[in-house]
Amino acid sequence: MKTLDINLGIDSYKILIEDDILSRLSFYIKEVYKNKKVYIITDDTVKDLYLDKVINSLKDDYQIDYVVVPHGEQSKSIEMFIHVCEELLEKNIRRNELLIGLGGGVIGDLTGFVASSLYRGIPYVNVPTSLLSQMDSSIGGKTGIDFYGRKNILGAFKQPKMVLIDPLTLNTLPKREFNNGMGELIKHGAIGNKKLLDLLFDKPRIDENIIAESLKVKRKVVEIDPFDQGLRMTLNFGHTFGHAIELKYGYKHGEAVAIGMLMAIKMGEDLGVTSKECYEPILKILKLYELPVDNYDYHDYLLDVLNDKKNLAGVVNFIFLTKLGECTITKISEKEIKENLL
Ligand code: NAD
Ligand code: GLY
């Protein structure tokens, strides 16, 4: 068992990572929840795989009800938010009763947002089942849905009471979904944990140790910058160029981040910020996990980066590696990009 304490004052919580923790959920949930009724939110795929197991592990201690939504990003919608809230109210949920999100990042974000809104806030526990959600989205309290054609545009910061991670659930994850998570996992190693990169070179099973090492990188950042006002943007390493190619070429997010990291390393090298020792190891590790490493020249995407809505007041915050396991934020003005870099 690996335990991580996320220290955020009264919103502090624990992340527990252990094989087969799904069979022992109520033992741990009892630490943070004393009432009788729990409501599980899950998707149809995860329901078929794990809902019975989860119900079995809770049924001696809790009355259980559940809401199932279709799998996939389309469930992070205002319609599904309304549907889940209506179902829960129909089931007569009270403000001191617990939601449990069982699923990938979509379920975590949706459940957390419902938990932040219903009765102005009810408790929730996250049980992430995809690699992306286990090593990234389950920590940091960002919740929300897509709206107005934009991702995560309605949301709230809402910390869970506890996060319970069972690495064995990764055994059923489709390969492309697994790779999607690996892109972000390698990113965590690259920006903040050289030891994690070294471990990954041996292509180990993604177990509690690897997941904990990845979460430690994000913990360090979200404890300092819980509301995404500065340092947290370092988690966007590989995303600046990744976003520019993701939709254009139909990559999954983690795949685009893999390519975006290589583009950012090249740019960082050219600006003298990134050590020449970064590119080859990151390329090697991405290939090892069968992530795409297509070679795009970053110069060709700088205009897309400038047009990205995230870039405010004519200044772009680029995240560059300084060396393996360390990164920095470099502000570059639109003027400088246009005059010197295009
Ligand atoms: P997802 O929740 O859609 O899961 C991917 C697919 O895998 C789904 O079809 C799901 O049913 C299936 N699945 C999940 N666990 C499984 C398992 N154990 N076995 C078999 N199938 C399983 O997507 P995701 O990649 O987990 O998460 C992506 C979402 O996370 C995006 O909406 C993104 O915006 C969000 N996100 C949030 C944060 C945050 O900080 N809140 C960070 C990164 C990403
Ligand atoms: N995924 C980036 C963040 O949580 O801030």
- Which of these CATH numbers, 3.40.50.1970, 3.40.50.720, 3.30.470.20, 3.40.50.150, describes 2-172? 3.40.50.1970
At residue 310, does pLDDT exceed 70?
Answer: no
- A 10 A CB-CB count for 253 gives 20
Please, what is the end-to-end C-alpha distance for the chain in angstroms?
50
33: left (phi over 0), alpha (psi -120 to 50) or beta: beta
DSSP state of 77: S
Nearest to 22 by CA among 99, 102, 98: 102
Q: Where in the chain is the domain with CATH 3.40.50.1970?
A: 2-172
CA of 50 to the centre of ligand 2 (A): 27
**What's the rounded mean pLDDT across residues 291-298?**
95
What is residue 340's predicted lDDT score, i.e. its pLDDT?
85
The whole-chain average pLDDT of the chain stands at: 96
For the stretch 26-48, pLDDT in tens is 999 999 999 999 999 999 999 99
Nearest to 25 by CA among 105, 106, 128, 122: 128
**What's the rounded mean pLDDT across residues 181-185?**
97
Give the ligand whose atoms come closest to the C-alpha of residue 112. Answer: 1
Share of the chain above pLDDT 70, in %: 99
What is residue 9's predicted lDDT score, i.e. its pLDDT?
97
What is residue 314's predicted lDDT score, i.e. its pLDDT?
85
| DSSP bridge pairs for 318 | 330
Give the ligand whose atoms come closest to the C-alpha of residue 253. Answer: 1
Give the ligand whose atoms come closest to the C-alpha of residue 109. Answer: 1
CA of 130 to the centre of ligand 1 (A): 6
Answer whether 140 contacts ligand 1 (Cβ < 6 A).
yes
At residue 95, does pLDDT exceed 70?
Answer: yes
At residue 208, does pLDDT exceed 70?
Answer: yes
Q: Which ranges constitute the DSSP H helices of the chain?
A: 25-29, 44-46, 52-58, 78-90, 105-117, 131-132, 175-192, 194-200, 208-224, 239-249, 253-270, 279-288, 302-307, 334-336
Q: Where in the chain is the domain with CATH 1.20.1090.10?
A: 175-341
* Maximum alpha-carbon separation in the chain: 67
Answer whether 235 contacts ligand 2 (Cβ < 6 A).
yes
Q: Which atom of ligand 1 is nearest to the CA of 109?
A: 41
What is the third-level CATH fold of 175-341?
Dehydroquinate synthase-like, alpha domain (1.20.1090)
CA of 105 to the centre of ligand 1 (A): 4
Q: Which atom of ligand 1 is nearest to the CA of 142?
A: 41
Alpha-carbon distances of 15 from 77, 207, 211, 212, rounded to whole Å: 27, 14, 11, 9
Q: What is the value of pTM for the model shown?
A: 0.97
Alpha-carbon distances of 283 from 50, 260, 291, rounded to whole Å: 35, 11, 9
For the stretch 132-174, pLDDT in tens is 999 999 999 999 999 999 999 999 999 999 999 999 999 999 9
CA of 63 to the centre of ligand 2 (A): 34
CA of 217 to the centre of ligand 2 (A): 11
Alpha-carbon distances of 295 from 127, 255, 256, rounded to whole Å: 37, 13, 12
Residues in the chain, how many?
342
For the stretch 240-285, pLDDT in tens is 999 999 978 999 999 999 999 999 999 999 999 999 999 999 999 9
**What's the rounded mean pLDDT across residues 308-337?**
89
**What's the rounded mean pLDDT across residues 223-239?**
97
